[in-house]
Amino acid sequence: MQLIRHFTDNHDILRYVLIPPKRPSRRSEEVSSRPDPLLCAVQIVLAPRLFELDYMQGHFSFPVSQSIVYGSAEEIPIFTGCNGLDVNMEWLLHQVNFWKYHMLREEECSLFKPYTDLEDDERPRFWSEQLTQGYNQLGKHWKGSYAYLDRGVINSIRRGHDQNEQIPDEFNGEIDTGSFQDLLLGFVDEDEAPWPPAFEQHLRSLAPPVNRAKTRAQHRSATPEGLAGFKPVSFEFEGEGHDASEDFLAQGWLNALPTQHGIPGWQRMTMMKYFTDPQTGEIDQDALWAYEGVVLPGGQMMLGRWWSPNDGTGENMYSGPFILWCVDGPVEASDG
C-alpha cells in the first residue's frame, strides 16, 4: 500500500484518463482518444487516495463529468457487455471525479467543509484484506451523499448545454449542504425480509445475466478471463438511514461480478430507498427512490445512480449520482 501511495503521488493517472493525449488521425489532424478502460479501472480501484485531504493533484474535466453522471440509464448504462456483467469504467471514473471535485475543492463551497470536518476514520479508506473474486462482506455503517438538480436543468445537461456555464449541484435533500447521508446496513435471509415485486420490477436485482449476441467490441470484453469460473452469488440486505431532512428505510441486494480487467472483487448493488405509513406500516409506493451502483473491490466504497421510478423513463428518467463509503472501525485481528 505504501508503494501504491508513492505511485499515485508521482503519477497522476486521473489526468491521463480524463484528458487523454491527442493522437494523429488519418487526415493528420489531432484527435483525442477515449480513455483506456484498464487505466480507468486502475484509477477507480485507487479512488480512496483521491479522497485523502493531502492529495494535492488538480481537478480535471468537471463539466464533462457532471454531464455524464446525470445521464440516463438508457443513454449511459452502468453495466454493459453481452452478459450485462462488464462495468462501465469510464462512467464510473467520472463519478469518482465528480465527487472528488465537490469534496476536495474548497472554492466550490459545496461539500468541502462538511467533508474536511469529518474525523479521519469517517472518510473513504483502502481495503484491509487481499482482494478476492466474488462476494465480499460489507460493513454496517456507511456515509455518503447524493446529488440532484431540478428536472429542467438535468434535461438541459442531457441536451448538451454550454459546458462553460457553471451549474451548482444540490445534495442530500436540501440546498444547505452541512451534512452527509448516513446509512446502517444489515444482511438478512429472504424469509426474514420478502423482496417486494414492485422493487424487483424497477431494480431487476434477481434477474439472470442477459445473453445478447456479441458485437465486435464485446469480443474484447472486460470479463473474458473471469466468466469461466464465475457463479452468480446474491445476498439481501436491509437498511435505515438519515439525510439532511428525513429518515428513510432501505432494502436491496448485492450481486457478485466477474473479474474486471484482471481485477477481482467487484459487486453490483441495487437498493430501494422508501418510506412507510406510520399508522399502517405500508410502503408509500409514490415515494420510491431506486439505487443501482458498483461496490469497488475491497468493499469500502460504492458509486452509482439513483432515480425516481415514478418520474419518467428512458431519456426522461429523473436521476443523478450517489456515493457511499464504509465508516466501520478497523477490523481487529483475531487471536484464534
| Residue from 327, 289, 324, 328 nearest 303 by CA | 324
d(CA 174, CA 255): 32
List, in order, residues 6 or more apart from 135 with CB less than 8 Å away: 233, 235, 254, 256, 267
Whether 225 shows a pLDDT value over 60: the answer reads: no
Whether 1 shows a pLDDT value over 70: the answer reads: yes
For the segment 313-332, what is each residue's pLDDT rounded down to a tens digit? 888 899 999 999 999 975 44
Q: Quote the pLDDT of residue 334.
A: 39
Cell 444489515 sits on residue: 186
Q: Quote the pLDDT of residue 278.
A: 86
Confidence (pTM): 0.88
Query: What number is the average pLDDT over the span 175-193?
Result: 80
100 with 58: CB under 8 angstroms? Answer: no
Confidence tier at 174 by pLDDT (50, 70, 90): low
C-alpha torsion 214→304→247→331, nearest 10: 110
Q: What is the DSSP letter of 107?
A: G
d(CA 138, CA 252): 13
* C-alpha distance across the termini of the chain, in Å: 26
For the segment 4-34, what is each residue's pLDDT rounded down to a tens digit? 778 888 888 888 888 876 655 555 455 556 7
Paired sense of beta strands 301-307 and 319-326, if any: antiparallel
Can you say whether residue 248 is alpha, beta or left, with left for phi > 0 and alpha for psi between -120 and 50 degrees?
Answer: beta
C-alpha torsion 174→178→184→185, nearest 10: 70
Separate counts of helices (H) and strands (E) for the chain = 10, 13
CA angle 315, 317, 320 (to 5 degrees): 110
Confidence tier at 89 by pLDDT (50, 70, 90): very high
Whether 215 shows a pLDDT value over 70: the answer reads: no
